[in-house]
Amino acid sequence: MQYGDQAWVLHRRWLLRCHRCCQSVGGPVTFQFDIETAAVPNGEGHWKAHLTDRWNIGDNPNGGYLVAAALQPVRQLCSHPDPISVTAHFLRPGMGDADADLTASLLRTGRSVTTARASLSQGGRVRLEVLAAFGDLDRGSGHGHVVTEAMPDIPLPEDCVDRSRLEQGVEMHIKSRVNTRVHPDYATATALKKAETIGWVRFADGREPDTLSAVLFADAFPPPIFGLLGRIGWVPTIELTVHVRQRPAPGWVCGRFVTEDLHDGRMIESGTLWDSKASLFARSRQLAMLLPDAEGK
């Protein structure tokens, strides 16, 4: 066993032991998202991670989870704490319950923005390429003008429909990690006949939202095209961009996702996230494919 491999095994054991001990003795909580996106150095510019299948939708890990894992080495390299712009290209599906090799490098470090590149590989094949800009969202620019979008009207989370109760067509392992509630008017395709999803999301273990979790939550809701056409197949992401505007307040996150452009099996989805104080804190846009399911529907 090489030194890097040995260090990675020891690191994983330490993370799991820390998680169990904190839960048993009531100490500081180590959350699932942080444990399951953790990366350990494995030589200059290289890291290792283990991707669990608990974030899977069907046979593959959620795309936002993969992006968050790929960003962890960048967070270790740069002095700016917050991802403010993240663009990820998905070359092929990731694999749950499997190790991953990560690379990261800084392209430029400035006073207000650090730009970096990262990749995630499994089985000797690159799965994901990321270009990201990091900043410090606690550091104000001095500009006082604000233009924003109001949070949509939505019932309280307890009055919305748990995503696990919706027809999915695949096993939703991710439900053990995030709690997603859908506005009852948007829970079925027959309700409004709109390619739109509105709902709430939060971590199942009580972890509060932050700027890194924005990349996960931007990809954690049912595809809005299902609201128009029903569950008609698989919707793999080609490219996902997330812009984080400010740090979110604790509590539930509200999301609204809309598809207004579907052509030749490819669609564009636009999303917005608001925190529990109804402050807009992130926007997303993704290009995805609409593929038939196994029955050809």
Question: Which pLDDT does position 292 carry in this prediction?
Answer: 76
226: pLDDT strictly greater than 80: yes
Question: Which pLDDT does position 177 carry in this prediction?
Answer: 98
* Mean pLDDT within 235-242: 97
- Give the pLDDT confidence of 14-39 residue by residue, as tens digits: 455 444 434 433 445 589 999 999 99
The pTM of this model reads 0.89
Paired residues of 182 in beta bridges: 161, 199
Residue 261 pLDDT class (50, 70, 90 cuts):
very high
Please report, rounded to a whole number, the percentage of residues in the chain having pLDDT higher than 90. 75
Residues 6+ apart with CB under 8 A from 3: none
Residue 239 pLDDT class (50, 70, 90 cuts):
very high
Identity at 84, one-letter amino acid code: I
Of 34-43, 188-197, 205-214, 274-283, the range with the lowest mean pLDDT is 188-197
Of 2-16, 82-96, 255-269, the range with the lowest mean pLDDT is 2-16
Residue 140 pLDDT class (50, 70, 90 cuts):
confident
- Rounded to whole angstroms, how far apart are CA atoms 281 and 244? 6
Does this chain's domain 3-135 share its CATH topology with 157-292?
yes
Largest pairwise CA distance in the chain: 58
Question: Which pLDDT does position 184 carry in this prediction?
Answer: 93
* Mean pLDDT within 120-124: 98
Residues 6+ apart with CB under 8 A from 28: 22
* Cα separations in angstroms, 99 against 61, 88, 96, 102, 142: 12, 20, 8, 10, 44
* Mean pLDDT within 217-236: 89
- Rounded to whole angstroms, how far apart are CA atoms 21 and 27? 8
144: pLDDT strictly greater than 70: yes
DSSP code per residue over the chain: --HHHHHHHHHHHHHHHHHHHHHHHT-SPPPHHHHTT--EE-STTEEEEEE-GGGEETTEE-HHHHHHHHHHHHHHH-S--EEEEEEEEE-S---SSEEEEEEEEEEEE-SS-EEEEEEEEETTEEEEEEEEEEE-TTS--S-------PPPP---GGGSEEGGGS--SS--GGGGTEEEEE-GGGSSHHHH--SEEEEEEEETT-PPP-TTHHHHHTT-SPPTHHHHH-S-EE--EEEEEEEE-SPPPSS-EEEEEEEEEEETTEEEEEEEEE-TTS-EEEEEEEEEE-EE-TT--
**Looking at domain 157-292, what is its CATH homologous superfamily?**
Acyl-CoA thioesterase, double hotdog domain (2.40.160.210)
Domain boundaries, the chain: 3-135, 157-292
- Rounded to whole angstroms, how far apart are CA atoms 14 and 291? 41
* Mean pLDDT within 53-58: 95
CATH code given to domain 3-135: 2.40.160.210
Closest of 148, 131, 273 to residue 198, by C-alpha = 273
Q: Which residue has the higher pLDDT, 19 or 252?
A: 252
273, 251 in Cβ contact below 8 A? no
Residue 3 pLDDT class (50, 70, 90 cuts):
very low
- Give the pLDDT confidence of 88-116 residue by residue, as tens digits: 999 999 999 999 999 999 999 999 999 99
